[in-house]
Structure 1
Amino acid sequence: RYKCLHLEAVSTLSTDSFILTLRRFISRRGRPREIFCDNGRNFVGAAKEISDYLTSNSDTVCNFAANEGIQFKFQPAYAPHFGGLWEAGVKSAKFHLNRILGNAHLTYEELASLFSYVESILNSRPLCPLSSSPNDFQPLTPGHFIIGRALTSLPSPHLADINPNRLDRFQRLEALRQHFWRRWQMEYVCELQQRTKWRVPGRALQLGDLVLIKEENTPPMHWRLGRIAKLFPGADGISRVAEVATGTGTYKRGVKYLCPLLDETHEALKADASKGPQDVAAPTNGGEVGNIHR
């Protein structure tokens, strides 16, 4: 699953507000076939209203829309863990938004703009290498499945460390975006660096691996990526320093500052290795490993 995120600001939790939000989503992203949601009263009311409208207009010009109606699938009541796949991205947004907003008073337009900033940041995260070419430093991101290319942002001055009382409202909004980026980016990098007990062997970096270079004070939506050009093993045969080739030059970095973005083939082999011998099914495509959709 690629877990592309779409955030909307609403003024009330009513059925009418949700229907308007759904119309905005369809206008920007296209009409979904299925909507998975919890048992919120606004969601249930919107599903009933849309269903009644499609049923009452089944013999009119809207016949095509009725046949292609949106299907709502509700999870059980008081069971938020059923939506873990999409709740993970929303949790990342809410966790840091609650901390950076604090007691800030924002207008509806400012809050909607901040949600768009957060949405673009979350959808810019690197998933895996875009290609196997050693000269390609671009990763595959959720933004590729939304607009067909990586998401970018306009450059702006660094405002996160300036006293908020010295900033106007526009600058304060940009400072909030930079604060969110700083907090969430460090959390995401830590998730990529899965640390296991030293006695459990892990996959070592290899030549040509696409890695995310861990750096501080990077601008929002700027991911420093490179390919492993050379490894420097120690006396025990373990490489703790690597030479990384980037679009701006070649640099030496400690391995603890490099986060590998493994391709889908390695993820498939890792998933098969975690299963027992009785759980691994024989491949049906001549022994090749199939693609895995995130």
Structure 2
Amino acid sequence: MGNTLLNYEEFYTVLAQIEACVNSRPISPLSSSPDDFLALTPGHFLIGGPLNAIMEPDLSDVHLNRLSRWQLGQRILQDFWKRWKCEHLSRLQQRPKWIAQSANIEVGALVLLKDDRLPPLQWLLGRIASVIPGDDGLVRVVTVKTKEGEYKRPLVKVIPLPVMNIELPKAKID
């Protein structure tokens, strides 16, 4: 936001909201069930559950002089989200070209469905249900199962999450 000055309370509020965003990133799936789309986040350790926030209206087109102090803080948070989406999530999605062979995405992997119309906090979380390789054997299209249904997406619209896939013991049903 350039030369924008925030007082202590405003700065603290913006940092707390950014902290909630960062602490909402998945660490590991909560279970090995393919029907479970919940992931363990740092928020689970902090407050016992995920940290979710309600997104405010987009203020990126509003001139800074017309914003209230609260809206200014929300604008800074939205700018953070844009950078997070462009830098961090793009880094997760990187696929090196011809230089090195990378592993194909596997069935059961936890992913985000990228939607350019929505902020990242509202992207659907799902698991890869099936993969469709191209003629060269590399996965080009995947079917993702979410709590809202199944979606077929090209690999460029799917962001694999850097979670540790820990094999959990399966419960015996007698």
Deviation track 1:47-104 (CA, whole Å, cap 9, x = no partner) reads xxxxxxxxxxxxxxxxxxxxxxxxxxxxxxxxxxxxxxxxxxxxxxxxxxxxxx3111
The residue that corresponds to 2:11 in the other structure is 111
Partner residue in 1 for 2:33? 133
- How far does residue 217 in structure 1 lie from its aligned partner after superposition? 4.7
Per-residue deviation, 1:174: 0.9
Alignment correspondent of 2:105: 205
Specify which structure has the bigger relative contact order, considering alpha-carbon pairs within 8 angstroms and separated by 6 or more residues: 2
Q: What CA deviation, in whole Å up to 9, does each residue of 1:178-226 have, x standing for no partner?
A: 1111112332212323433535332212222211223335336444311
Q: In the alignment, is the contact (CA less than 8 A) between 1:210 and 1:225 conserved in 2? A: yes
**What CA distance in whole angstroms lies between the structure 1 residues aligned with 2:94 and 2:120?**
23
Give the Å deviation of 1:116.
0.8
Structure with greater helix share of residues: 1
The structure in which a higher percent of residues are strand is 2
Q: 2 CA distance for matches of 1:208 and 1:220?
A: 21
Q: Secondary structure in 2 aligned to 1:244?
A: strand
User: Could you say what secondary structure the match of 1:240 adopts?
Assistant: strand
What residue in structure 2 maps to residue 274 of structure 1? none
The verdict on how the C-alpha distance between 1:146 and 1:191 changes in structure 2, with shifts beyond 3 A counting, is same
The count of corresponding residues between Structure 1 and Structure 2 is 166
Q: TM-score, normalising length from structure 1?
A: 0.51
Residue segments in structure 2 that go unaligned for 5+ positions in a row: 167-174
Contact 1:127 1:139 in 2 (8 A): yes
Structure 2 partner of 1:177? 77
2:132 aligned partner:
232
Q: Any idea what SS the aligned residue of 2:32 has?
A: coil
Counterparts of 2:139 and 2:113 in 1: how far apart (Å)? 16
Task: Map 1:9-20 onto structure 2 (within 5 A).
Answer: none
The one of 158, 166, 181 equivalent to 2:58 is 158
For 1:192-271, what aligned pairs fall within 5 Å after superposition?
A: 192-198=92-98, 200-219=100-119, 221-261=121-161, 263-264=163-164
- 8 A Cα contact 1:160 1:176, kept in partner: no
Correspondence for 1:8: none
Q: Identity over aligned residues, as a percent? A: 45
* Aligned residues: CA RMSD: 2.2
1:102 corresponds to which letter in structure 2? Answer: G
- Match of residue 189 from structure 1: 89
Shift of 1:157: 1.6
Q: Is the contact between residue 129 and residue 261 of structure 1 (CA under 8 Å) also seen in structure 2?
A: no
Counterpart residue type for residue 139 of structure 1: A
What is the aligned counterpart of 1:142 among 42, 45, 48? 42
Q: Partner residue of 1:67?
A: none
Structure-2 separation of matches of 1:176 and 1:199: 38
Segment of structure 1 superposing worse, 113-122 or 185-194: 185-194
Cα offsets for 1:248-282 (capped at 9, x unmatched): 2222211122222355358xxxxxxxxxxxxxxxx
So what's the TM-score if we normalise by structure 2?
Answer: 0.82
